[in-house]
Structure 1
Amino acid sequence: MKMKPYKIGYTTGVFDLFHVGHLNILKRAKEQCDYLIVGVSTDELVMEYKSKKPVIPQQERVEIVNSIKYVDLVVHQTNRNKFFAWEELKFDVLFVGDDWKGDSLFVEMEKKFNHVGVEIIYFPYTSGVSSTGLKEKIRYKKSVV
């Protein structure tokens, strides 16, 4: 069995209307680490920064993510501060979609994580697939019918 570059990995998301893009990031993350922790955003956190409630309730999103074979542990993400999560979970690497690269939140995280030896790996965003896009398709189909 090939050695993986990291022991403990961490990634987060809303995981609303779970789709292949979500699966891709979890699979790619698990390929890089022995143990993958996934933070699922709480409904309150999503309301706070997206100003909308997820379609799928938090507990159901947690159950869905927890059933994915690449995931070893699911935790509730109650805030967007990944360094706060690191202080509790002590992961070696943070996996993020590359749509966040250059975002002020992650520029700051890169600096903080650099001091404690945690790497951030940006995975390519799965183009053409998003929960927002799925919601729009559903809305369109409902309006046509």
Structure 2
Amino acid sequence: MEEKKKKTVGYTTGIFDMFHVGHLNILRRAKEQCDYLIVGVSTDELCLSYKHKKPVIPFEERKRIIQAIRYVDEVVAQEDRDKFRAWETLKFDKMFVGDDWKGSPLFAALEEKFRRAGVEIVYFPYTQGTSSTMLREKLDKLENETV
């Protein structure tokens, strides 16, 4: 009798405001390392609570954009930043995150909790030259030049 291979469930999160190639790179690379990819899209309220700014693209539109990406199997609302609580609900095997978080106090503690739970954290290199913050700054600069 053939043994059934367990599907690997992956999880990543983001605001995904002003969708760009860096976002696509993370989703593509995550899907390459799992069979089923769940993506948490941060709500507008969550963004306001820790970034102190509202996303340019509203939550429901960002969610629809992410749902349309072929690498994504499921989209959930990320209403808080507690990744372990997300794991308790979603039971993923791997969590994918940008390497700009590696070594941060938040992820140092999370690595230990996830290690005990058997969850692997995979860090991806940050896409140089592109970010939503950079796009926002360019737009602000263009807006100020036309005034």
- Same-fold status (TM-score > 0.5): yes
Distance 2:142 2:133 in 1: 14
Aligned pairs (5 A) from 1:9-24: 9-24=10-25
SS at 2:139 equivalent: helix
| Structure 2 gap ranges (5+) | 1-5
Measured in 1, the distance between the counterparts of 2:71 and 2:33 equals 11
Please say which structure displays the higher CA radius of gyration: 2
Report the Cα distance in structure 2 between the residues aligned to 1:48 and 1:107, rounded to whole angstroms.
22
Q: Which amino acid aligns with 1:43?
A: D
With the length of structure 2 as denominator, give the TM-score of the two structures: 0.93
Aligned to 1:31: 32
> Which residue of 2 is the match for residue 81 of structure 1?
82
Aligned-pair identity in percent equals 65
Alignment of 1:55-74 (within 5 A): 55-74=56-75
* Structure 1 moving runs of 4+ over 3 Å: none
Q: Is the 8 A contact 1:6 1:32 kept in 2?
A: no
The alpha carbon displacement at 1:6 in A equals 6.5
Deviations 1:29-83 (A, max 9, x none): 0000000000000111111110111111000000000000000000000110100
Name the structure 2 match of 1:99.
100
Q: Deviations over 1:5-36 (max 9, x none)?
A: 96100000000000000000000000000000
Instruction: Tell me the C-alpha RMSD between the 2 structures.
Output: 1.1
Tell me how many residue pairs correspond in the alignment.
141
Normalised by the size of structure 1, how large is the TM-score?
A: 0.95
Q: Which runs of 5+ in 1 are unaligned?
A: none
